[in-house]
């Protein structure tokens, strides 16, 4: 199985890839493969079996093509697209039971451009692929912000067409709202969105009902990539998503 880690910049994709992998091998004895698909990162907390930076880096593109960081990131995305076959071949030949895939910091580069969907489509054809969408509590400090974060998760699910589970990371930091509880209690979420101030309360309420209908994961688990809290719950959630889509191989 492949597990993709997705989410907004700085939400903890790389650290969670590392921590979850460490937990899978130490606690469950799995053979874990690691992939870095972020051409812009300086370092990775894990030791990748395949690293996109073996092919190109954002820094290199900036120098070579005289581009700024954003232009170089877009160019990197195009290069990933051009070398899609090679990337899929490298990822698929890792040969571990579970391969954890860290994705670019700026998720729009991967998810909202053709690159991500194309790579994932091919990975899916080879073996079961699940996404973990990470909600960053610092970007979900009010009910309507939480709704926005979840919409982003649903948009990723639509783009990549993979079973997608959602986690609230940074559980070791005190959160302003109880994310996982609110999402497990739709009536409470609606009530809180309704009473929160904002010109777009109605819009937020409509989005909340979409989340209820479309979020594949009926629950969100709380994890900490820093302390390792919730790795067992994340594993269960991934396993459940696999059972729901009928693939138990
Ligand atoms: N307190 C706390 N900090 C965390 C946690 N997970 C990640 N961080 C911190 O958040 C920052 C970003 O973590 P990364 O793992 O690099 O996040 P990322 O999503 O890979 O970041 P980009 O790839 O740059 O978008 C780092 O300073 C981490 O130490 C967590 O569970 N708790
Ligand atoms: Mg990262």
Please write the tens of the pLDDT for every residue from 28-46.
999 999 999 999 999 999 9
Q: For 73, phi and psi rounded to 5 degrees?
A: -65, -40
Q: 11-15, 55-59, 140-144, 161-165: which range is least confident on average?
A: 140-144
Question: Does ligand 1 come within 6 angstroms of the Cβ of 115?
Answer: no
Q: Which atom number of ligand 1 is nearest to the Cα of residue 102? A: 20
pTM of the entire predicted model: 0.93
Question: Does ligand 1 come within 6 angstroms of the Cβ of 44?
Answer: no
Quick one: fold of 2-138+163-173+219-244? Rossmann fold (3.40.50)
Residue entry with tokens 């696999």: 242
Q: Please tell me the number of the ligand nearest to residue 139's CA.
A: 1
Question: Does ligand 1 come within 6 angstroms of the Cβ of 225?
Answer: yes
232 pLDDT band, cuts 50/70/90, is very high
Q: What is the mean pLDDT of residues 123-136?
A: 95
Q: In the predicted model, what is the mean pLDDT of the chain?
A: 90
CA dist list (Å): 173 to 38, 138, 207, 222: 26, 9, 27, 11
Residue 204: in which H helix or E strand, if any?
helix 201-214
The residue among 100 and 203 whose pLDDT is bigger is 100
Question: Does ligand 1 come within 6 angstroms of the Cβ of 14?
Answer: yes
Sheet of 129-135: strands edge to edge? 50-51, 32-36, 98-102, 2-6, 129-135, 164-168, 220-222
Output the pLDDT for position 247.
44
Q: 16-20, 30-34, 41-45, 244-248: which range is least confident on average?
A: 244-248
| Cα of 24 from ligand 1 centre, angstroms | 19
Output the pLDDT for position 216.
54
Spatial distance between the Cα atoms of 35 and 206, rounded to a whole number of angstroms: 37
Nearby residues for ligand 2 (ion, Cβ within 5 Å): 13-14
Output the pLDDT for position 140.
84
Q: Please tell me the number of the ligand nearest to residue 45's CA.
A: 1
Output the pLDDT for position 187.
81
Output the pLDDT for position 21.
98
| Cα of 102 from ligand 1 centre, angstroms | 12
Q: Write out the two tokens for 48.
A: 């990748």
28 φψ region: left (φ > 0), alpha (ψ -120 to 50), beta (else): alpha
Q: What is the mean pLDDT of residues 202-225?
A: 79
Q: What is the mean pLDDT of residues 223-227?
A: 97
| Cα of 47 from ligand 2 centre, angstroms | 13
Q: Which among 189, 170, 191 has a CA at the least distance from the CA of 181? A: 189
Spatial distance between the Cα atoms of 63 and 90, rounded to a whole number of angstroms: 26
The residue among 61 and 197 whose pLDDT is bigger is 61
Checking if the pLDDT of 1 tops 80, the result is yes
Question: Does ligand 1 come within 6 angstroms of the Cβ of 18?
Answer: no
**pLDDT per position as a tens digit, 139-169:** 888 888 888 888 899 899 999 999 999 999 9
Output the pLDDT for position 213.
76
201 pLDDT band, cuts 50/70/90, is confident
Nearest CA to ligand 1 atom 17: 12
Question: Does ligand 1 come within 6 angstroms of the Cβ of 9?
Answer: yes
Using DSSP, state whether 185 is helix, strand or coil.
coil
Dihedral sign from CA coordinates of 88, 90, 94, 100: negative
Residue 95 has, within 13 A of its CA and on its CB side, a CA count of 1
| Cα of 73 from ligand 2 centre, angstroms | 14
Question: Does ligand 1 come within 6 angstroms of the Cβ of 13?
Answer: yes
Output the pLDDT for position 115.
93
| Cα of 103 from ligand 2 centre, angstroms | 7
Spatial distance between the Cα atoms of 231 and 238, rounded to a whole number of angstroms: 11
Question: Does ligand 1 come within 6 angstroms of the Cβ of 164?
Answer: no
Residue-range domain boundaries for the chain: 2-138+163-173+219-244
């Amino acid at each position: 199985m492949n597990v993709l880690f997705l989410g907004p910049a700085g939400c903890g994709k790389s650290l969670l890839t590392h921590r979850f992998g460490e937990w899978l091998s130490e606690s469950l004895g799995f053979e874990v493969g690691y992939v870095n698909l972020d051409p812009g990162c300086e370092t990775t907390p894990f030791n990748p079996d395949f690293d996109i930076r073996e092919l190109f880096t954002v820094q290199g593109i900036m120098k070579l093509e005289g581009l700024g960081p954003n232009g170089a990131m877009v160019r990197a995305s195009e290069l990933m697209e051009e070398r899609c076959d090679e990337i899929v071949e490298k990822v698929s030949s890792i040969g571990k039971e579970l391969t954890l895939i860290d994705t670019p910091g700026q998720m729009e580069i991967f998810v909202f451009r053709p690159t991500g969907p194309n790579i994932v489509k091919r990975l899916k054809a080879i073996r079961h692929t699940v996404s973990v969408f990470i909600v960053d509590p610092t970007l979900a400090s009010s009910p309507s912000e939480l709704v926005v974060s979840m919409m982003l998760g649903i948009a990723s699910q639509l783009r990549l067409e993979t079973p997608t589970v959602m986690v609230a990371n940074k559980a070791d930091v005190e959160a302003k709202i109880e994310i996982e509880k609110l999402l497990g209690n739709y009536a409470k979420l609606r009530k809180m969105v309704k009473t929160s101030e904002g010109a777009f309360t109605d819009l937020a309420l409509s989005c909340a009902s979409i989340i209820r209908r479309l979020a594949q994961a009926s629950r969100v688990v709380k994890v900490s990539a820093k302390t390792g809290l919730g790795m067992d719950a994340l594993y269960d959630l991934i396993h459940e998503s696999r059972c729901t889509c009928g693939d138990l191989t």
